Every structure is written in structure tokens, then in C-alpha cells.
Amino acid sequence: MTTTVPALGTRTAEGSALQAVLLDMDGTLVDTEGFWWDVEVEVFAGLGHTLDDSWRHVVVGGPMTRSAGFLIEATGADITLDELSVLLNDGFENRIDHRLPLMPGAARLLAELAAHDIPTALVSASHRRIIDRVLASVGPQYFALTVAGDEVERTKPFPDPYLRAAAGLGADPTRCAVVEDTLTGVTAAEAAGCRVVAVPSITPIEPAARRTVVTSLEEVDLPFLQGLMTRV
């Protein structure tokens, strides 16, 4: 889903070098990282396998090809990657049909970015069918474009999704602020040259150059994101 984006000069907040904001979805805007693990546990139980809870930290935030592939190899389950992907996506959709909680501060941040005409994109490793379902709850009007994990040849942790989003908005990646909740997503954004705000959801993330770690989106607003551009 892509809409026409006005020239950046008319959309960038006055006096700021920030050109665009690129946001992850699961665990960043919507509290769904736990949903994926619950579905994985349920699906593998149906296949006769019990998942080790420590594996949750291995699969969190990754593309389905990586997480599902790991679980097949770890359990020895007799199922193909394509078959498992269908079961996982179906199970996830069933859960979000019943409940889709936003992360604290997410609605306020999206509204603030929209009010100041900041070009914003949703960049997720989830498949298009999942993104479109989630967008119906989050609000598609907040995003000039969205990038799904099954729409790029290489998804996170590679930089391709964030490079595509920046290009789609006509923005310089080094002038984009990315908000992510996993190291996989942070790695992708940093490889693209973006400034990163990490809001860890399940596994800890350490501060680093061009990376700021916060505990909640409630700490993030437009002045905060603009300030990232001036930090060394």
C-alpha cells in the first residue's frame, strides 16, 4: 500500500534534519511478539513437539523463513517450511482477530507524526497478509507506505527493507529515524545507515553509536526523534 508523498521540503518539521520515520510493527507498535511464540508453541504441539522456551530468544524479531526454519531443524518436525508458514500465519491471524493491543505510547506517537506531516513508513518482517490485517487496527492513514518481509529479496537483518522504505519516501537513510524492538531489526536499520531508537520487547539491546535505547515509546516524541540527527 503506497500513496503519493509530497516533497520533503513541505513535510519535514521546520529546523529539523529529520526526513522520515520508519517503524517496525510487531513488538514495536503492537504488542504481538508474544502472539507469534504462542502460535509457534501451539502449532508444534499439534505436530507432536514441545518447544524449549529458550528458543523464543532465537526466533524473536526474525523473518519467518529463519524462525520457522530454525524450529523445524531444532525439533525435527516432519513439515516443510512452506507448510509451516501457512499454519503460523493462519494461527496469528486468528489471534489478532480477537485482540490487538497497541504498545504504550504508539497511538500518541503516530498521531504526533501525522500532525506534523512527517513522512512515515511501516517496515516489518511479517508477510503482507499480516501487515494489512494489523493496519486495519493501527490505522493505515498514518503511513505513506509499508514494506512487508515477503516483498523484499532479503528481509531483516539485511538493510534492504529500510533502504526500500527510505527510497520510497525520497529520504536519505542517514536522515531517517528507525524505531525497532529487536536486535534483528536494529541490525537491519543500522546497516541501512539510519539512526535507531531501540525499545526492547523480549531480549535486551545495548546502546551503541547511532543507537539510543529507551524502555517505552512513551519516552519517544517528535523532538526526541529530531534530536537523534544531531547526536554523534
Q: Is the pLDDT of residue 75 over 60?
A: yes
CB within 8 Å of 6: residues ≥ 6 apart: 117
Q: Is the pLDDT of residue 3 over 50?
A: no
DSSP code string of the chain: -B-----HHHHSPTT----EEEE--BTTTBS-HHHHHHHHHHHHHHTT----GGGHHHHTTS-HHHHHHHHHHHHT-S--HHHHHHHHHHHHHHHHHH--PBPTTHHHHHHHHHHTT--EEEE-SS-HHHHHHHHHHH-GGG-SEEE-GGGSSS-TTSSHHHHHHHHHTT--GGGEEEEESSHHHHHHHHHTT-EEEE--SSS----BTTEEE-S-GGG--HHHHHHHTT--
pLDDT in tens, 103-119: 999 999 999 999 999 99
Residue 132 amino acid letter: D
Q: For residue 221, which of 78, 103, 111 has the smallest C-alpha distance?
A: 111
C-alpha–C-alpha distance, residues 199 and 59, integer Å: 17
In contact, 169 and 20? CB cutoff 8 Å: yes
What would you report as the CA-atom Rg of the chain, rounded to the nearest whole angstrom? 17
pLDDT in tens, 42-64: 999 999 999 998 888 777 766 77
C-alpha–C-alpha distance, residues 5 and 119, integer Å: 8
Q: What percent of the chain has pLDDT over 90?
A: 64
Tell me the whole-structure pTM to 2 decimals.
0.77
Q: For residue 89, which of 65, 56, 119, 115 has the smallest C-alpha distance?
A: 65
In contact, 170 and 5? CB cutoff 8 Å: yes
Taking all residues of the chain, what is their mean pLDDT, rounded to a whole number?
A: 88
Q: Is the pLDDT of residue 187 over 90?
A: yes
193: left (phi over 0), alpha (psi -120 to 50) or beta: left
